Amino acid sequence: MDRDSVLLVVHGMGETSEGSTVQRTVKPLVKLMKRRSDPDDVEVVGGTANTPRHTDIRYTGNGNASEIRVTEFWWAQSFNPAGILTFVFWIAWRVVRHLIRIASMYRRRLIDDQDREIENRFEFRPAEQTRLAALTSGAKLRWIQKLAVIVQYLLLLGVVIPFTILSPVIIPALAILSIIPGTKQATTPIKEFFNNLIIGSLADIWVIVEDRSQSRAIRDSLVTQIKDLAAEHGSRPIVLFAHSTGNLIVYDALAQLREEANMLPVNPRFSAVENGRANHAIQQLRTWVSIGSILTMDWKTGVVRGNNQTWRRNIPERMSWVNLWSRYDIATGSELYRPAGATELERGPVNRRVVNFGSMALDHTGFWENEEEVFLVLLDELGGRRPENDFWRQANDVSQISEQEELDIRSRRRYTPLLMITNAIAWLSIPAGAAIAGITPSFASKLTNNLGLTSLADFFNFGWISQIVNEGPTAGFGERLLFTAIIALIWFVLVYLVWYFVIKVAIFGTMMRIERNRSARRFLASKTTNI
């Protein structure tokens, strides 16, 4: 049996440099393999400045040699964005509807903490229930995390959705204000921030969903790359790994491959050679692992269903599809399943819920940091259960948790709940800061200055913030409301930065490395004992 495999990674929305997604994927995979074997048996080849788009991971342990070729489909600069007016009106129409429907899901989820709707639809195996219980914060502390999610939910309703609705007015207004001499210094950083946040990320989704000419070109490039990989690597199985918007491209490409392989009448231009290449590629496709998939825009919230049937076509039957989702992923909202009444669809994915951070602000990107759940699943699909590849776990029964997997879950369990709680405290600083500013504005101004936050605002050319904080609110309702909002915002920025760099990166990062090393030593000791 061929022990080699190919992993094709497709990035999501936002600015992504060439080769960065490969390295983002290789690092956790290599860490996991080294923790499960002699580190000298794992070697990384490639990924240099000359070959940024692929890296080889070679394993030579247990008397066998195997290789994983990790490559990427990079599409970040493969399109032209929409005009500003077209784009912002699309945001106000489709993105707002998507966010409102996701907010409705969160409302039910906050009321029903156990996700009974989902558990009734999917029969969780005992091993799955054990894993989820291990990665959920204890009942005594969960209410703090839930309170923080409520704060995020209220911000979604009170700030994000209204701003998105008003974006056709706000974004052009900021562009005009940024060229006026008296307001340029204050408005230019705000305009650039929102341009990067909204236009820099959501423009990718607009191209894939609305501009069929450009999206077909991107899809055809992925189809060609899959065919080329299948031809180049012979009998190696191919695993697809996609995040966010990348899953829309993958689904479209897989459906296109199936149509080419079947030579459907809607595709008369394909030759017998391309038909053969498509069939060979389908034979080599083993699994598609989707994370943070915004295919929910069609299958769940339905905001693109009326104008686009791209994601209602069928994909190849023989390959498996595993969808990893997180409870508070603001982009997806929930698990992914075939829409009711969509009889034309033959299949949906196998859904598996993972626990990233328990935060609306972090769960969509948190998949990349979730070694113990996301990358163990990926390593499983790349051959981690084969007897000759002892770099992961040796249990062949997928319904059971092996000793090695349980050790990994325990190591994550030690820090994830506490990380959730401390992150919740950071978000709770918003209502706390607003309350202090509203009750005792003079004390709030003094404390903000003593903490050096106004100096920090001046450093980043936000001098108007210092002016408002130092002058304090007047009797007017609008000035008092603005003062309260600014105090709450800059307090949150301070607490969040402390949480991220001190608690998450320094303290918990060190704790997790120690725990993962301890887990690796236990595993290697058990292997030695068994021998």
Check residue 7 and give its pLDDT.
96
Say if residue 274 is in the same domain as residue 364. Answer: yes
Say if residue 240 is in the same domain as residue 334. Answer: yes
Residues ≥6 apart with Cβ < 8 Å to 298: 304, 305, 308, 311, 312, 339
Say if residue 199 is in the same domain as residue 252. Answer: no
Assigned token pair, 178? 């940024």
C-alpha count within 13 angstroms, C-beta hemisphere, residue 76? 16
d(CA 287, CA 278) in angstroms, rounded, equals 16
C-alpha count within 13 angstroms, C-beta hemisphere, residue 42? 21
Say if residue 41 is in the same domain as residue 133. Answer: no
Say if residue 254 is in the same domain as residue 378. Answer: yes
d(CA 243, CA 293) in angstroms, rounded, equals 6
What is the count of structural domains for the chain? 3
Q: 311 near 261, Cβ under 8 Å? A: no
At 307-364, the pLDDT tens digits run 568 898 999 988 889 999 988 888 887 888 887 777 778 888 888 888 888 788 889 9
Say if residue 360 is in the same domain as residue 272. Answer: yes
Say if residue 339 is in the same domain as residue 249. Answer: yes
Check residue 21 and give its pLDDT.
93
Q: For the residues of 94-142, what is the DSSP string, one character each?
A: IIHHHHHHHHHHHHHHHHSTT-HHHHHHS---HHHHHHHHHTS--HHHH
- In the block, tokens 């493969």 appear at 78
pTM of the model as a whole: 0.85
Check residue 9 and give its pLDDT.
97
Query: Is residue 356 one of the residues assigned to a domain?
Result: yes
Its domain, for residue 249, covers: 5-78+215-401
Say if residue 273 is in the same domain as residue 393. Answer: yes
Q: Which of 210, 234, 250 finishes a domain? A: 210
C-alpha count within 13 angstroms, C-beta hemisphere, residue 508? 23
Cβ density class 448-475: b for 16+ within 10 Å, e for less: beeeebbebbeeeebeebbebbeeebee
Element (H, E) at 204: helix 200-210
Q: Strand 238-243: give its sheet, edge to edge.
A: 42-46, 54-59, 66-73, 5-10, 238-243, 285-291, 320-326, 350-354
Check residue 118 and give its pLDDT.
42
Check residue 196 and give its pLDDT.
65
Say if residue 131 is in the same domain as residue 157. Answer: yes
At 24-72, the pLDDT tens digits run 999 999 988 887 777 888 899 876 555 567 899 988 876 777 889 999 9
Give the 3-state secondary structure of residue 68.
strand
Say if residue 49 is in the same domain as residue 105. Answer: no
d(CA 165, CA 103) in angstroms, rounded, equals 15
Backbone phi and psi for residue 460, each to the nearest 5 degrees, phi listed first: -95, 20
Assigned token pair, 33? 């393999």
Rg from Cα positions in the chain: 25
CA geometry: angle 330, 334, 338, nearest 5 deg: 135
d(CA 302, CA 93) in angstroms, rounded, equals 13
Low-confidence ranges of the chain (pLDDT < 50): 1-2, 114-126, 137-139, 265, 392-399
Say if residue 205 is in the same domain as residue 91. Answer: yes
DSSP state of 309: -
Check residue 132 and give its pLDDT.
55
